[in-house]
Chains A and B, each alone.
Chain A
Amino acid sequence: MIPVKFDYLAPTSVEEALSALGEHGDDAKILAGGQSLLPVLRMRLNAPEVVIDLGGIASLRGIRDDGDAIVIGAMTTHHDVRDHALVKEHALLISKAAAEVADSQIRHRGTFGGALAHADPAGDLGAPALALGAQFVIAGPGGTRTVEASDFFVDLFETAIGEDEILTEVRVPKHTGWGAHYEKFVRVAHQWPIVAVAATVKGSIDEARVGLTNMGSTPLRATATEQALAGASATEDGVRAAAELAAEGTNPPSDLNGAADYRQHLARVLTGRAVLKAAGA
């Protein structure tokens, strides 16, 4: 299908992008990998007058070590995130989740920042980012600010990024040596998750972080499960008992793939499995 006509801008620096955004305001849309934006435009669900492509801004791409955190540039593709040595070493959970996004073609185009900015509750990267306590670096006309993951996801397709702002990078605190697993439940391989669970654990088990995908309008943390797991041993029974708490406080959708109560059941079962696999049990 053919989108409504729009102008295309290709800035080469964040400043340039911000000033274009400032100039066109409401009428502009940022383009990252286009894997969510283009379907929206082609189905005419949105019709911006200007599309600002971040693809030409080199500084937004790449992953670097920054002391106690690794920093992932917003325009780094899912493919690069998945395979990067720093990610594998310090934020294995993100590598595992990135591997599960869509299919290979989409992983080569879609970006880490684009996926998080899009904030689809069924997106695979929100739950791991939340579980690892990521910080979102957002540039705006007044400079740069940092937002905690817990404040970043506001609602369905809504984040803390303002209309005149750009997400530039995501700082992920190092979880070096933590085991990790992303358990994604789908009916066909290329599907968004019906439910997914992102689990990462230190030792077996000193500490645990559990994020839930598609169990509400934003990614969620299964805090009751995390607390029950802290100091528990990574046995099947122990983990499953803690996982029973995973669906507490969730408000998942009902659709053709499953009603809310089924999703809550899945969240419990998948949490058990994810934690056990993360703990290497």
Chain B
Amino acid sequence: MLELGRRLGRRRASAAAVKRAANDRTMALVAADPELRAALFRLVDVAPACRGNEELRAHLAAYLEGIEDPGPLASFGSRAIDSRALGRASGGVAATMVRQMAKRFIVGETIVDAARPIERIWRDGATVTVDLLGEATVTEEEGRAYARRCDEALVELSRHAAGWADRPAVEADSIGPIPRVNLSVKVTALTPLVRAAAPERGRADAVGRLRELMRRAAGLGAHLHVDMESMDSREMILDLVLDLLAEPEFAAGPSLGLVLQAYLRDSEEMLERILARAAAAERSVPLTIRLVKGAYWDHETIEAAQHGWAPPVWTDKADSDRCFERLTRRLLDSYPLVRTAIASHNLRSVAYAAAYAEQIGLGPADFEIQVLRGLGDDLQEAVVEAGLRCRVYCPVGDMVSGMAYLVRRLLENTSNASFLASRASGSDLDALLGRP
């Protein structure tokens, strides 16, 4: 396992990788100063709401007020600017900086824009799942519009994918074919009726839209992956998907996926529930389960603290990591009842899964590694080199809707507990590969 981890973690030498490493170091510098980190996030967050560079400048100046030395923030711009003058700097530099950051994480504004970078990923030996960014859904029309965009994306992507070169290595596992087209969807974008205390409302509203998307995916032979979000929608999403899975019309397709969040204290129970339902559904296409740690850790802990609840998530990072490994074993052991996708940028978590899969005799195509575009680019190259299937989660959308996503990624990338941040700040690889 250690060997595999070292191999995956070898520093990349491509020009792009070197540039990324430089960016990551800058990020680590920013992250080291909590005030600066906060200023950067606020700037990114507000950027799309500002009209013109002057407004952006005014916000930046307000965020930097009282910060002694905004040094590292300055180096985010495409050209070096005097750090002291950043508060007075033209908003244009800030705007460029934000756009550049966004470009790293978002593949394009529309599916048409995204088609080329996606095909490039395919040519590089990896594959993708596409995620459509958008504003929060607060109206029925917004829910319908998101469903429409998903539907169009499935059709568009299928059209593009038909032209991709054959890559047998990523197109089948021991069970059978694996769809080229893979779309990740968010249930909270499909319906404005997500109510934590009344899951039935959101479910009743979303079920029709999700069913239509499943029909479309089945017709096109595409894979549909339902993302998991915060605890407030978890039960609703889980029941919704498991119920749809059991509908006879979907017995032969489409390929469908769920997400399991290892940072939840009850995630093992949840997996047993999912496995039982997957077994009962008797479908010819297995359910795919994407194993993640979970992206809403801050939200869950803050909400729990404000309400006086026991946090639903682990509060020790190592507990999430250990749970992730237990779930990894249980999932891989459950092949071919379910397909497993290990979604992490943590070399230890990824290497552990790969080593365990090998140990129990799974072929390299019988599970996959998933990474986020912009965060897992190095890992993507390494995973492909190692002969494993790597799927890159590719957000598509405009600046306005992309910012919430971007802020979340930046936060994740710079949080103290994060593997990537530790790596960027120069921690010893072998130590990071150690047992959590």
Is the A/B pair a real complex? no
A residues touching B (Cβ–Cβ < 8 Å)? none
B residues touching A (Cβ–Cβ < 8 Å)? none
